[in-house]
């Protein structure tokens, strides 16, 4: 059950951050950034970066709150997000964008995960939403 929940968590976070990227940069902006340079993408489309990170944080927070996951779920959830990013980079993106090939996977991985910031935002959201040890009132 834990692996199914983690896979669903990775799917929800990756989908939310991808929607944020598409809303912020548009389809043409994504194609140009993935084809040319992922570093230039962050400079050319700062709103897309903000939307992606915000969407990853909020999706992780809501998912963890609704499933009432413990803080011990966070590392497994982050592995699921990394697996979702790798799957998106090497399989989904080449199918969606005709100019990309699987050989561009590492460049797409850097752009999709925003240099790993998407994973950090998802971890922060999951950590904030998870239930764990509560401080004892003195």
DSSP, res 133: P
The whole-number pLDDT of residue 50 equals 92
Give dist(CA 70, CA 73) in Å, integer: 6
Residues 6 or more apart whose CB falls under 8 angstroms from that of 34 comprise 41, 93, 97, 100, 104, 107, 108, 111
Phi then psi dihedrals of residue 106, to 5 deg: -70, -35
Residue 81 has pLDDT above 90, yes or no: yes
The whole-number pLDDT of residue 35 equals 64
Reported as a single tens digit per residue, the pLDDT across 18-74 is 888 888 888 777 777 666 676 777 788 888 889 999 999 999 999 999 998 888 889
Name the pTM for this structure.
0.85
């Amino acid at each position: 059950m834990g692996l199914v929940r983690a896979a669903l968590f990775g799917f929800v976070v990756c989908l939310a951050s991808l929607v944020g990227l598409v809303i912020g940069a548009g389809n043409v902006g994504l194609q140009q950034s993935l084809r040319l340079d992922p570093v230039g993408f962050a400079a050319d489309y700062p709103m897309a970066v903000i939307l992606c990170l915000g969407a990853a944080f909020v999706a992780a927070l809501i998912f963890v709150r609704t499933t009432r996951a413990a803080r011990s779920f966070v590392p497994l959830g982050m592995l699921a997000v990394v697996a979702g990013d790798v799957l998106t980079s090497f399989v989904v993106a080449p199918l969606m964008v005709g100019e990309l090939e699987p050989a561009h996977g590492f460049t797409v991985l850097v752009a999709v995960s925003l240099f790993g910031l998407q994973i950090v935002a998802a971890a922060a959201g999951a950590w904030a939403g998870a239930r764990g040890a509560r401080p004892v009132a003195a």
